[in-house]
Structure 1
Amino acid sequence: MVRKYMWYSKVNFNNYKDAWEQALELFQGRTPEEISKSSGAQYDGMVLRLQSLGQELEVSYPSGQVYFRGTDKKPIFPWQLMTLNYLGRASGVELKNIPISYRELESGNVYFPALQRDAFIPFVKRIQKERADTVRNAFTYFSPESRNKGDISLVVWGFPRFSITITLWLADEEIDGNINVLFDKTANHYMHTEDVAVFVEMLFRFIRYEL
């Protein structure tokens, strides 16, 4: 079942009109077969289907309308926009399995302070007093893959070829909590650096709802 906080919420579309039109132009400038091959989405002749945060999305071609599969519900607008950007940008390059930090992405140093302020710091503050199993369970809905690092280490797939590796150290009597977030070296072949930040912030907000 799709969580209510994931559904489309009304926004002033005029604030995002240019960004949506640019994303739609890139999306429509490619054939659905090309998009499928380069992004890891599946095309059935009518819609493109792809996994995102443990959910299956359907994207109509060429309209670019995004829905949760089998429903009449749309993801919240930033998620729709990032999905369209992903499909329009995906290069098809093979993942390297070489982790890099946000600062190592294109212009990552420019956007990192905002990401740290809006996503990392609030998230760590929210979870640092929680039990490890409570935090781990909050990730479960997003179909993570476990890793053996820190107190909690998980890989969450934002899209078929865009992963987010999150390692958390929870607070104790001596030290504060901390977080490390890494991406595949190929991330910019699939996502704009700004979109990566928005996606991480969205994911952390979703996890806080699950706590």
Structure 2
Amino acid sequence: MCSYEDISKQSFELAFNLACKKLANMTPEEICHNSGASSAVQDKVMIDYLNRPYVVTISTGEISPENEEETVPVKDQILILHYLTQAKGKPFTDKLITYGQIEGGKFYIPAFIQRNIQPLLKCFGHRPELLLEVGRKIGGISAAYGDVAVRIDAFPRVRIFFILWKGDDEVSPNGTILFDGNIPDYLSSEDVCVLTETIVWKLVRMA
């Protein structure tokens, strides 16, 4: 399982409601300390997600973009809720890990490759410089890995690296996706796969 769509509607609603209930039992100070969110008005915190600020109501789990009337996709809502409720406050380690090194991730490596790395290579494998160009639109910066790499801080304490190696007449382009070693302290392997897929398709659509 590597996608929220793979679970039943009933299970999805249960997971969403559990996350809302857990959030409601947390204090703004606890949430901000653990996740890097900032305190807004009473009963609300503000969190950056993919270079956009979102306001989260603690008592209800309601999420909305700051200063915008826009419906947040449910997939993004649950990612934000899981990040806020699972965050442990661990700083970046500056050591990279693979998806398979995240607890539970090794069982879903084929799905992770199919949903994330293959679309990345299909779109950017023969034009890797475009990856950095579109990555900057969601807050990405250049990173010193592979031939071209972009670092995207999806949340204040979740850092993901999208890395490409150029191909030639004899070797096909290659790529990988790596994470700062603190990511298991913020998201489950399923959440990480869904988050990465969300980012990859944002990049593809902007290309």
Would the TM-score normalized by the shorter structure come out above 0.5? yes
1:173 counterpart SS class: coil
Tell me the distance in 2 between the aligned counterparts of 1:198 and 1:100: 17
Residue 13 of structure 1: CA displacement? 6.2
Unaligned runs of 5+ residues in structure 1 are 1-11
Residue 138 of structure 1: CA displacement? 1.4
The aligned residue for residue 58 of structure 1 is 55
% identical equivalent positions? 25
Give deviations 1:40-77, integer Å, cap 9, x for gaps.
00012332111111111111121111111111113221
Residue 186 (structure 2) pairs with residue 190 (structure 1): yes
The aligned residue for residue 4 of structure 2 is none
Tell which deviates more after alignment, 34-43 or 48-57.
48-57
Residue 147 of structure 1: CA displacement? 1.3
Tell which deviates more after alignment, 15-24 or 102-111.
15-24
1:16 counterpart SS class: helix
Residue 92 (structure 2) pairs with residue 95 (structure 1): yes
Whether the 8 Å CA contact 1:151–1:169 is kept in 2: the answer is yes
Match of 2:151 among 145, 155, 159: 155
Match of 2:16 among 14, 20, 35: 20
Residue 85 (structure 2) pairs with residue 105 (structure 1): no
Give deviations 1:163-190, integer Å, cap 9, x for gaps.
1011111333221111121112111111
Tell me the distance in 2 between the aligned counterparts of 1:85 and 1:28: 13
The aligned residue for residue 127 of structure 1 is 124
Whether the 8 Å CA contact 2:124–2:130 is kept in 1: the answer is no
Residue 25 (structure 2) pairs with residue 39 (structure 1): no
The aligned residue for residue 195 of structure 2 is 199
Unaligned runs of 5+ residues in structure 2 are 1-7
Residue 119 of structure 1: CA displacement? 1.5
1:97 counterpart SS class: coil
Tell me the distance in 2 between the aligned counterparts of 1:171 and 1:15: 43
Which one-letter code corresponds to 1:203 in the other structure?
Answer: I
Number of aligned positions between the proteins:
199
TM-score, length basis structure 1 = 0.88
